[in-house]
Amino acid sequence: MKLLHTSDWHIGRTLYGRKRYEEFEAFLNWLAETIQQEGIDALLVAGDVFDTSAPSNRAQELYYRFLCRVAASSCRHVIVVAGNHDSPSFLDAPKELLKALDVHVVGSITSDPEDEVLVLRNEQGSPELIVCAVPYLRDRDIRAVEAGESVEDKERKLIDGVRTHYAAVTALAGQKREELGGDIPIVGMGHLFTAGGQTIDGDGVRELYVGSLAHVTAEIFRFDYLALGHLHVPQKVNNSETMRYSGSPLPMGFGEAKQQKSVCRVEFHNTSASVHLIDVPVFQELERIEGDWDGISSRILELSATGFQGWVEVIYGGIEVIGDLRERLETAISGTKMEILRIKNNHITERVLGQIHEEETLDDLSVNDVFERCLAVHGVPEEQRPELLRAYQEAVLSLYEDDVQAQ
């Protein structure tokens, strides 16, 4: 039996204001074709189907059209669990209708663990796979709140709640396998953060439990294969071949631009699983360019010579103060197919404005913040600063009023 494990589609996600529906559509078309070419029997989608809890009509259209296409293919089963970005009620709403297409959706846990343990049957009606389809476990689902709890108490309860829930569904799956007889593989699904999991700056991965480090250890899982979602970097769990994050199929930010995206093809022989990664094509090229002006301009020339047509993020880190950085960059890419989506001037943030903490960027500061930082860096006496700030604010207001009149 062949499975395909994927997750973290984030349909509807934008990148610095740019919509990406064409990318999502291209990926889903590729995925449907891959399922057919590889002879996949079951598709596992481990959460974060959508990027928001209220997806747009276009995002919904892409999702349902894909499910209908797969249901009409040789793929016998589709299993979808909710992630922390998904709305459980939204995913669950059409579940009975989708079940007629052998599409099984688990948006939230219920009081009965049996709702998450699916026995899937082949065309002859014989059981061929048991799936523990565990969705994202929300804080309120697995932890009872008590007055006077410490952070450590909350942490312990969260981890205990995740462990207890997985133990219950695992035991039930094992019981069903014994009752059915035969070597039926048991697959676990989940959307969570395991201890030691790898993330990348700017990948959009949210902490699942705010204010907590509730990262579970691999020892709680007892499955023939574990299909996880949430982390966008494709990776093994605890260096195990059969416990994996498939990762996001599209780069969620420029930090993932050089990362090879993939989906996991899992082939079972009885209960023994072998895993092969299938590379996902690049549907929209991304490039992050960092350095001083000479390095940045040289890289733009190199990309232009290769006919690069993608989106670019520029991070300037030179010691030279460049007040017209944006204008220079627009001139540099003029006549090319490149588009700069973001410019980050680390010189202004770090050297001129006195960066307060490592994550602070110019985007985090208001125009008044920038001016006040400049006054401080240049040692302007405190008694002179209020009058200078008022003059600066009048100048800025005048510029805004001129722009409004011009429009």
Domain of residue 242, CATH code: 3.60.21.10
| pLDDT for position 407 | 42
Overall average pLDDT of the 195-203 stretch: 66
| pLDDT for position 120 | 95
| pLDDT for position 390 | 82
Domain of residue 355, CATH code: 3.30.160.720
Q: Which amino acid is at 152?
A: E
Length of the chain: 407
| pLDDT for position 37 | 96
Kindly report the backbone phi and psi dihedral angles of residue 42, in degrees, each rounded to the nearest multiple of 5, phi listed first: -145, 135
- CA–CA separation, 254 vs 372, rounded Å? 31
* 350 touches 330 (CB < 8 A): no
The three-state (H, E, C) secondary structure of 216-242, written as one string: ECHHHCCCCEEEEECCCCCEEECCEEE
Indicate the residue among 250, 279, 308 that finishes a domain: 279
Token pair for 290: 């960092």
Q: Are residues 231 and 210 in the same domain?
A: yes
CA nearest neighbour of 34 among 280, 258, 209: 280
Q: Are residues 209 and 170 in the same domain?
A: yes
Structure confidence by residue, pLDDT tens digits, 271-288: 999 999 999 999 999 999
Query: 395: pLDDT confidence band, cut at 50, 70 and 90?
Result: confident
Q: Are residues 253 and 309 in the same domain?
A: no
CB atoms within 10 A of CB 377: 12
Structure confidence by residue, pLDDT tens digits, 326-361: 999 999 999 899 999 999 887 655 555 555 544 455
Indicate the residue among 245, 279, 313 that finishes a domain: 279
Provide the domain count of the chain: 2
Q: Are residues 12 and 53 in the same domain?
A: yes
| pLDDT for position 213 | 44
Q: Under DSSP, is residue 312 helix (H, G, I), strand (E, B) or coil?
A: strand
Rounded to two decimals, what is the model's pTM?
Answer: 0.81
Q: Are residues 170 and 293 in the same domain?
A: no
Q: Which amino acid is at 177?
A: R
Structure confidence by residue, pLDDT tens digits, 207-236: 554 334 456 788 889 999 999 999 999 999
Structure confidence by residue, pLDDT tens digits, 241-260: 999 999 999 999 998 888 99
Kindly report the backbone phi and psi dihedral angles of residue 404, in degrees, each rounded to the nearest multiple of 5, phi listed first: -65, -45
* 121 touches 127 (CB < 8 A): yes
Overall average pLDDT of the 115-127 stretch: 93
Q: Are residues 88 and 237 in the same domain?
A: yes
CA nearest neighbour of 243 among 281, 192, 168, 173: 192
Q: Are residues 55 and 196 in the same domain?
A: yes
Q: Are residues 364 and 396 in the same domain?
A: yes
Q: Are residues 270 and 176 in the same domain?
A: yes
CA distances from 166 to 135, 138, 157, 183, 200 (A): 11, 14, 14, 21, 27
Q: Are residues 261 and 348 in the same domain?
A: no
| pLDDT for position 329 | 94
Overall average pLDDT of the 103-128 stretch: 93
- CA–CA separation, 238 vs 358, rounded Å? 30
Indicate the residue among 232, 254, 279 that finishes a domain: 279
Structure confidence by residue, pLDDT tens digits, 353-376: 555 544 455 556 677 888 888 888
Q: Are residues 298 and 365 in the same domain?
A: yes
* 109 touches 135 (CB < 8 A): yes
- CA–CA separation, 81 vs 12, rounded Å? 18
Q: Are residues 181 and 264 in the same domain?
A: yes
| pLDDT for position 181 | 84
Question: Domain span at residue 134?
Answer: 2-279
